[in-house]
Amino acid sequence: MLNRIQKKPLLVYFNNYPAPYVIDRLNALVESNKVDVEAWFLYDKSNKNGWIDGKKIKWKFKYKFYKKSPFFFTNNFTRPDVFISLYHHPIFIINILFYKLLGTKIFLHSVKTFDAWNKRTKFKNILKYILFNLVNGFHANGNDAKNQIKKFLFLKKKFILVPWNLNLAWNHKKIPKIKYPKKKIKFLFTGRIIQLKGLDLLIESFNEIKKKNLKFQLSIIGDGSYLKELKKIVQSKKLYKFVKFFKKKPSKLLCNFYSKNDVFVFPTTGDPYGIVIDEAISFNMPVICSDQVGELKNRVTHEINGKIFNSGSKKSLINSIMSYYKNPKILTIQSKNCKNKIPKNYNLEYVKKIIQLI
């Protein structure tokens, strides 16, 4: 490959999908005028994986999608100075090793993972020991990811902590209102409709709330492989008057749902981050969340701005929901505690941290 002549260093970011927040951050790097940026994506599924804003945002950097060759090359066939990449797919690993041999600084984009979503094997662990100690460092999603990685290290490595903070209300210039007690509490879930999100548990729990003759409405926004099955469960339990389904929405329209509903519920069995939590908190929504979510401590504090329940436990989830009926005042208290919890413009901080890698 050719050596670079340009004064500005070249950073290549290799990820699964062109998520809107990824595009925003790479745009911010370009705007800093301190680094040239290219992005490579394994899949062009911005409209199939919930990222329906991705193609509406102006991309200020060069990019390409995987086609047939396992090797990716920069537009000018020059060696990147810094290469940030995921590592869970063979295509990622091939390019990591290739650019490591060329002398590029390699940083692995790392997130907290959970057993429910990722099968642990001895072979995978051996690969992690080798790969983690081979690269220069880690572009980690937070301390949960960092602590998980450190178990595989016997060499000292550099960590840069880059949370996925997304303040949706600030991004769309909305002024979030405080939530107040109501006889009918409106609950909200947004995200992919897959079984691993724990949505069957959510429906079962609200079925028990219905038996207590408590007024509620649950809105579920999103598409996915479990949607038909979930609708069948709602029908079988005769919850169709209480549970409403909506197709996935662009972020601008999601703002209306975050504004009009009272409590956000995220019953996942193991999310590395769950950026919808940030979106909800930015609208002063208390969050009921399972304990199987990465980087949760800095966003949701139990009984301060939401409730954290034991993942998979219907009893624990029902108790969390019931708390807003037993003591209605906590809705307002927790809503007020959501204020300023999510940084308003994390892109600036992100740029500062990335420049440290170069």
Residue 5: pLDDT band (50, 70, 90) is: low
Provide the domain limits for residue 146.
Answer: 10-165+345-357
- Whether residues 182 and 319 share a domain: the answer is yes
| Number of neighbours of residue 96 by Cβ within 10 angstroms | 22
- Residue 48 reports pLDDT greater than 50: no
Q: pLDDT exceeding 70 applies to what percent of the chain?
A: 95
- Residue 4 reports pLDDT greater than 90: no
Residues 262-274 have a mean pLDDT of 96
C-alpha triplet 133, 30, 105: angle, nearest 5°: 15
Residues 213-228 have a mean pLDDT of 96
- Whether residues 45 and 141 share a domain: the answer is yes
100 CB burial (10 A radius; 0-12, 13-18, 19+)? middle
Residue 80, domain member (yes or no): yes
CATH of the domain at 61: 3.40.50.2000
- Whether residues 139 and 245 share a domain: the answer is no
Query: Global pTM?
Result: 0.92
- Residue 117 reports pLDDT greater than 90: no
Q: Which segment of 48-52, 217-221, 307-311 scores lowest on mean pLDDT?
A: 48-52
CA 179 – CA 177 distance, rounded (Å): 6
Q: Are 337 and 304 in contact (CB under 8 A)?
A: yes
CA 104 – CA 79 distance, rounded (Å): 7
- Whether residues 254 and 276 share a domain: the answer is yes
Q: Are 125 and 119 in contact (CB under 8 A)?
A: no
Residue 2, domain member (yes or no): no
CA 220 – CA 205 distance, rounded (Å): 14
- Residue 97 reports pLDDT greater than 70: yes
Each as own residue / partner, the long-range contacts of residues 67-76 (CB below 8 Å, 24 or more positions apart, any chain) are 70/94, 70/95, 71/95, 71/98, 72/14, 72/40, 73/1, 74/10, 74/12, 74/38, 75/38, 76/2
More confident residue, 120 or 257: 257
> What is the average pLDDT value for the chain, to the nearest integer?
92
Residue 1, domain member (yes or no): no
- Residue 281 reports pLDDT greater than 90: yes
Q: Model confidence over 154-204: pLDDT tens digits?
A: 999 999 999 888 999 999 999 999 999 999 999 999 999 999 999 999 999
Residue 316, domain member (yes or no): yes
> Which residues, in sequence order, are CB contacts of 101 under 8 Å at separation 6+?
none
- Whether residues 278 and 330 share a domain: the answer is yes
Residue 321: pLDDT band (50, 70, 90) is: very high
- Whether residues 175 and 144 share a domain: the answer is no
Residue 49: pLDDT band (50, 70, 90) is: very low
In this prediction, residue 1 carries a pLDDT of 61
Instruction: Give residue for tokens 């193991």.
Output: 270
- Whether residues 24 and 63 share a domain: the answer is yes
The two tokens of residue 276 are: 């919808």
**Residue in 232, 240, 234, 228 with CA at minimum distance from that of residue 203:** 234
- Residue 47 reports pLDDT greater than 60: no
**Residue in 184, 203, 188, 196 with CA at minimum distance from that of residue 314:** 203
Q: Model confidence over 57-68: pLDDT tens digits?
A: 789 999 999 988
- Residue 52 reports pLDDT greater than 60: no
Residue 293, domain member (yes or no): yes
Domains identified in the chain, total number: 2
